[in-house]
Amino acid sequence: MFESLGNKLQDILDRVGRESKLTEAQVKTAMREIRMALLEADVNFGVAKEFVARVSEKAVGQEVMGSLNAGQTVVKLVHDELVETLGGQAAQPTLTNEGNLWFMVGLQGAGKTTSTGKLAAFYKGKGRRVLLVAADTQRPAARDQLEVLAKQVGVPVLKVADGETPQETRRRLDEHLRADFRDLVIVDTAGRLQIDEALMDQLSDLQTELKPTETLLVVDAMTGQEALNVAQTFDARVKLSGLVITKMDGDARGGASLSARSVTGKPIYFAGTSEKLAGLEPFYPDRVAGRILGMGDVMGLIERAQQADLKAMEVKKPGDFDLEDLLTQLRQIRKMGPLGDLMKLIPGMSRALPEGFTVDEKQIQRIDAMISSMTAKERHNPKIIDGRRRKRIAAGSGVTVQDINKLLKMHEQMKEMMKMLQKFSGPGAGRGMKL
């Protein structure tokens, strides 16, 4: 996964130059790729353009971050800005002790009715007394669909009658609430295949009468480019207060959420993750940012690499690289998590490693045991480890003499490789871990 963006960028940026700060040329080059990634994730063209301009301004002149290379630094900056644009932290709709009334609006098929049922289940689980209102008089079966969901959740439902005026609905609702107190009313409204003026008017009239405390636009993650237009129009007609993104369990990378959020500035409260009632999660901006960039959990890895004391892993003079250093490095790496993934964080490593490469955790443990069985003198100067010492170390760490031979040979090769790397790249090149 990671090779996708960070390393792809690094390949490109290597050609532009290596500096300790991101140059304008590097940022410009990198942002071409970032814009492509955003468009591939179905972010609206204008939104992508504006976003790239904003992050470019911040990136030029930025210090290349500690253990990261320039490509990874750009990805981190872009990712952080994406998280910020998507709202930073997960947010929740406003809820007071009583009188909460939420409107669910959106295009037909976006997932309004399903999300209404999911919200009922979610908030009933939190101890709320929920009432659902089936106000979609457009499709004959819509009210029944909500009734089925309400039964599953175990909450009452009030069905709006055909031809009923908003005033009548208001009166029936009040009556219902007087007889049976509810602190959260969620209204499922009529769907539209496209923005339709007559239906918008109807929705707006009902909104004026019921005065919802939240008006939530339900956006299908698969709508792609259209999401911006839909969000903009609904916001203009029925002033939105928040967003719900559905079908995040599908292939969509989530660009629609960035478009809808950018154009309305409204928080995204929930993500729909299945057709089932339990398929509702808080919207986590960091996860979606990673998904938009097509990076999976890479940011977690970058963070872990930053946290680990990578300074301890940098060996000043390759000739001094002894077994003690090797042991320190191995232990550092193990602390950071899945080895195969981490190896790929090492600049250039993902290209050198065969596809699907993983490091055997057990093997690392064995090496640890072997080096631990050596004296300080032996670790510092492996040349003195003769046949007799090898036998002793093997016995002490529960391996064969052959294993010890292999380890010493590996260490020798690593040392040679490091010398070569330094000769070709000079100090300062290939920032980050030097293994």
Binding residues for Mg ion, rule: CB under 5 A, are 112-113, 142
- The residue at minimum Cβ distance from ligand GDP is 272
Binding site partner of 4, from ligand GDP, Mg ion, none, Cβ cut-off 5-8 A by kind:
none
Q: Which does 143 bind (CB under 5 to 8 A by kind): Mg ion, ligand GDP, none?
A: none
Known binding residue 235? Answer is no
Listed in sequence order, the residues at least 6 apart from 117 whose beta carbon sits closer than 8 Å to its beta carbon are 132, 146, 149, 150, 152, 153, 277
Asked if 108 contacts 100 with a C-beta cutoff of 8 angstroms, the reply is no
Between CA 236 and CA 253 the distance in angstroms is 26
CB of 284 to ligand GDP, least distance (A): 15
Known binding residue 134? Answer is no
Task: Determine how β-strand 268-272 pairs with β-strand 280-282.
Answer: antiparallel
274 binds ligand GDP (CB under 6 A): yes
Considering beta carbons, is residue 154 or 250 the nearer one to ligand GDP? Answer: 250
The number of beta carbons lying within 10 Å of the beta carbon of residue 201 is: 11
Determine, following the binding rule CB under 6 A, whether residue 360 of this chain makes contact with ligand GDP.
no
* From the list ligand GDP, Mg ion, none, partner contacted by residue 114 (C-beta under 5 to 8 A by kind): ligand GDP
In the complex with Mg ion, the residue whose CB is nearer, 13 or 135, is 135
Query: Binds 6, which of Mg ion, ligand GDP, none (CB < 5 to 8 A, cut-off by type)?
Result: none
Contacted by 204, from Mg ion, ligand GDP, none: CB < 5 to 8 Å by type: none
- The phi, psi pair for 42, rounded to 5°, reads 70, 20
Tell me if 144 contacts ligand GDP by CB under 6 A. no
6 is in an annotated binding site: no
Contact status, residue 279 vs residue 273, Cβ threshold 8 Å: yes
Number of residues located near ligand GDP, criterion CB under 6 A: 19
Residue selected from 273, 332, 373, 422 as contacting ligand GDP according to rule CB under 6 A? 273
Do residues 237 and 113 lie in contact, with contact meaning Cβ atoms separated by under 8 Å? no
Tokens of 64: 């290349």
**Residue among 85 and 246 whose Cβ is closer to Mg ion:** 246
Give the Å distances, CA to CA, from 132 to 74, 189, 333, 361, 378.
46, 11, 53, 53, 75
Closer residue to ligand GDP in complex, CB, 245/343: 245
Q: For residue 269, what are its two tokens?
A: 């409260």
Q: Which is nearer to ligand GDP, 137 or 273 (CB)?
A: 273
What's the chain's Rg over C-alpha atoms?
29
The binder of 274, among Mg ion, ligand GDP, none, by C-beta within 5 to 8 A per type, is ligand GDP
Judged by CB, which is closer to ligand GDP: 275, or 361?
275
Helix, coil or strand: residue 245: strand
C-alpha separations of 74 from 30, 183, 297, 316 in Å: 7, 47, 16, 27
Residue with Cβ nearer Mg ion (142 or 330): 142
Question: Are 242 and 283 a contacting pair, CB within 8 Å?
Answer: no
- The rounded distance, in Å, linking the Cα atoms of 189 and 389 is 80
Within residues 275-304, the interface with ligand GDP by CB under 6 A covers 275, 279
Q: What part of residues 210-239 is at the interface with ligand GDP (CB under 6 A)?
A: 218
Question: Which partner, Mg ion, ligand GDP, none, binds residue 241 by CB below 5 to 8 Å per kind?
Answer: none
Q: How far is the CB of 83 from ligand GDP (least distance, A)?
A: 22
219 forms bridges with which residues in the sheet? 245
d(CA 418, CA 26): 28
C-beta atoms surrounding 399 within 10 Å: 18
> Using CB under 6 A, which residues numbered 101 to 130 contact ligand GDP?
106, 108-114
* Contacts to ligand GDP by CB under 6 A: 106, 108-114, 191, 218, 246-247, 249-250, 272-275, 279
Q: Give the residue numbers of the binding site for GTP.
A: 106-113, 188-192, 246-249
